[in-house]
Amino acid sequence: MSTKPYDLVLRGGTVATASAVFPADIAIAGETIAAIGRDLPAGAKEIDARGKLVLPGGVDSHCHIEQVSGAGILNADTFESATVSAAFGGTTTVISFAAQHIGLKLDEVLDAYHALARKGAVIDYAFHMIIADPTEATLKDHIPKLVKAGHATIKVFMTYDKIKLDDMQLLDVLYAARENRALVCVHAENHAMISWTGKRLVERGYRAPRYHGVSHPRAGEAEAFNRVIALAAFIDQPIMIFHVSTAEGAARIRQARGEGLKVFAETCPQYLFLTARDLDRPGLEGAKLICSPPTRQPSDQEALWQALALGDLQTVSSDHEPYRFDAEGKFIAGPNPSFKEIPNGMPGLEARLPLLFDAMVSQGRLGLERFVALASTEPAKIYGLHPRKGDIVIGGDADIAIWDPDRKVTVGAALMHDRTGYSPYEGRTVTGWPVTVLSRGRVVVSDATLRVTAGSGRFLAREAGAAAVPTGRRGAEFDPARNFGAKL
Peptide bond into 293 cis (omega under 30): yes
Residue-level pLDDT at 480:
47
Residue-level pLDDT at 472:
52
Residue-level pLDDT at 488:
56
Residue 389 to residue 215: CA distance in whole angstroms = 39
- Identify whether 231 is part of a domain: yes
Residue-level pLDDT at 53:
98
- Identify whether 19 is part of a domain: no
- Identify whether 246 is part of a domain: yes
* Average pLDDT of every residue of the chain: 95
Q: Please choose, from the candidates 346, 413, 403, the residue with its C-alpha nearest in 3D space to the C-alpha of residue 375.
A: 403
- Identify whether 184 is part of a domain: yes
pLDDT-derived band at 487, boundaries 50, 70, 90: low
Alpha-carbon separation of residue 228 from 241, 404, 461, 470 (angstroms): 9, 42, 27, 17
Per-residue pLDDT tens over the stretch 55-91? 999 999 999 999 998 888 999 999 999 999 999 999 9
Residue-level pLDDT at 23:
98
Q: Are 419 and 77 in contact (CB under 8 A)?
A: yes
CATH of the domain at 259: 3.20.20.140
Q: Are 238 and 181 in contact (CB under 8 A)?
A: no
The residues that bridge with 48 in the sheet, in sequence order, are 11
Helices 218-235 and 191-203, axial angle in degrees (round to 10) = 160
- Identify whether 2 is part of a domain: no
- Return phi, psi of residue 137, to 5°: -65, -40
Helices 106-120 and 79-88, axial angle in degrees (round to 10) = 60
Residue-level pLDDT at 471:
54
Range with lowest mean pLDDT among 30-44, 281-295, 331-345, 455-469: 455-469
Residue 69 to residue 60: CA distance in whole angstroms = 20
Q: Please choose, from the candidates 85, 40, 126, the residue with its C-alpha nearest in 3D space to the C-alpha of residue 322.
A: 85
The residues that bridge with 95 in the sheet, in sequence order, are 126
Q: Tell me which residue range forms the domain holding 213.
A: 58-375
Per-residue pLDDT tens over the stretch 181-219? 999 999 999 999 999 999 999 999 999 999 999 999 999
Give 414's contacts (C-beta < 8 A, 6+ positions apart): none
Sign of the Cα pseudo-torsion (212, 213, 214, 219, in order): positive
Q: How many distinct structural domains can be found in the chain? A: 1
Per-residue pLDDT tens over the stretch 418-474? 999 999 999 999 999 999 999 999 999 999 999 999 999 999 999 998 665 555 545
Per-residue pLDDT tens over the stretch 119-131? 999 999 999 999 9
- Identify whether 488 is part of a domain: no
Sign of the Cα pseudo-torsion (398, 399, 405, 406, in order): positive
Q: Sheet harboring 239-241: ordered strands across?
A: 58-60, 91-99, 124-130, 153-157, 183-187, 239-241, 263-267, 315-316
> In this prediction, what percent of the chain has a pLDDT beyond 90?
93
Residue-level pLDDT at 465:
83
Sign of the Cα pseudo-torsion (264, 279, 156, 112, in order): negative
- Identify whether 151 is part of a domain: yes
Residue-level pLDDT at 1:
35
Residue-level pLDDT at 251:
98
Res 314 pLDDT > 80: yes
Q: Which pTM value belongs to this model?
A: 0.95
- Identify whether 299 is part of a domain: yes
Alpha-carbon separation of residue 414 from 308, 409, 421, 451 (angstroms): 31, 12, 8, 20
Helices 298-310 and 247-258, axial angle in degrees (round to 10) = 20
Burial class (CB in 10 A: 0-12, 13-18, 19+), 428: middle
Residue 170 to residue 289: CA distance in whole angstroms = 29
Q: Are 37 and 24 in contact (CB under 8 A)?
A: yes
Q: Please choose, from the candidates 127, 117, 32, the residue with its C-alpha nearest in 3D space to the C-alpha of residue 83.
A: 117
Residue 139 to residue 127: CA distance in whole angstroms = 18
